[in-house]
Amino acid sequence: MIHRLADVQSDKIGEGTNIWQFCVILSGAKIGRDCNICAQVFIENNVVVGDSVTIKNGVQLWDGITIENNVFIGPNVTFTNDLHPRSKVYPDSFLQTVVKEGASIGANATILPGVIINKNAMVGAGSVVTKDVPPHAIVVGNPANIAGYVNSDKGSSSEQCSTVKTSMKSIAGAILHDIPVVNDLRGSLSFAESPQHLPFVPKRYFTVFDVPGKEVRGEHAHRTIHQFLICVKGSCSVVVDNGYGRSEVLLDKPSKGLHIPPMLWGIQYQYSSDAVLLVLASDIYDADEYIRDYDEFLGMVKK
């Protein structure tokens, strides 16, 4: 359905798509099937919109923007495509902005050019996105920072779009261990021995500290290496993703240790200002051990 008050110049509109009044869609735009383009939306020439996309009122999509399938764009979301705009001065090419499958962008958010909003991410209303948003991340604020992670790929209900903090022993395939602590008048001591407390014999350790509270660490998986994480001071949150769902645990005392086996995607964020994270690894450093692309990780898991 194309409303009689819409100006649609493109003939590349998928079956089942509705375009409402006062929309302007230029001739080069490509729009997929079963989309809902609400009133007063402007779509420029070099724009690709996938299938089952919802674009609410007052949104403009400029040259260089790609919207993948099943994306929700809230009312008055502002996209940009030029970091240094001047009247009548045009760059040789516009920066490419991509909103990947299943992502949602809340009302009045601003998206700077050249940004990738990854799969199933959620951008809070009014946020200003200045850098790439990781898969499943929930970002808010100006500039937008990670506030949590979506727990499920299925649907978008409020309970599925909140982080899950759990003290369960099994966390998306990782195992939370209780580490012994000895307290007396001289202070406290925690210890771990293999195999009683540590599930492997470490060959390497490293510590992470002085992390700005808004920064994110990790965002990778290992092919064969096991890791054991202990926050020996302060606290940080750890998200573990097995490719089908993810859970989050708060490491906030030396008596908690999290074993992350191979082929689990791990993220650490929300570091306290005094946090010191100790990581024990089952083997020495090898750059080829890392899987840093989330889509590659998903492909390997599903094989």
72 vs 68: CA distance, rounded Å: 10
Q: Which of 220, 222, 226, 259 is catalytic?
A: 220
Tokens found for residue 219 = 């965002």
Residues belonging to the chain: 303
Known catalytic membership, residue 84: no
Q: How far apart are CA 62 and CA 106, in angstroms?
A: 18
In terms of C-beta density within 10 A (0-12 exposed, 13-18 middle, 19 or more buried), how is residue 252 classed? middle
CA distances in angstroms from 107 to 77, 140, 191, listed in the order given = 6, 12, 49
> Residue 14: how many CA atoms within 13 Å on its side-chain side?
17
Residues 111, 97 contacting (CB under 8 angstroms): yes
CA–CA distance, 118 with 37 (Å, rounded to integer) = 22
Catalytic positions are 220
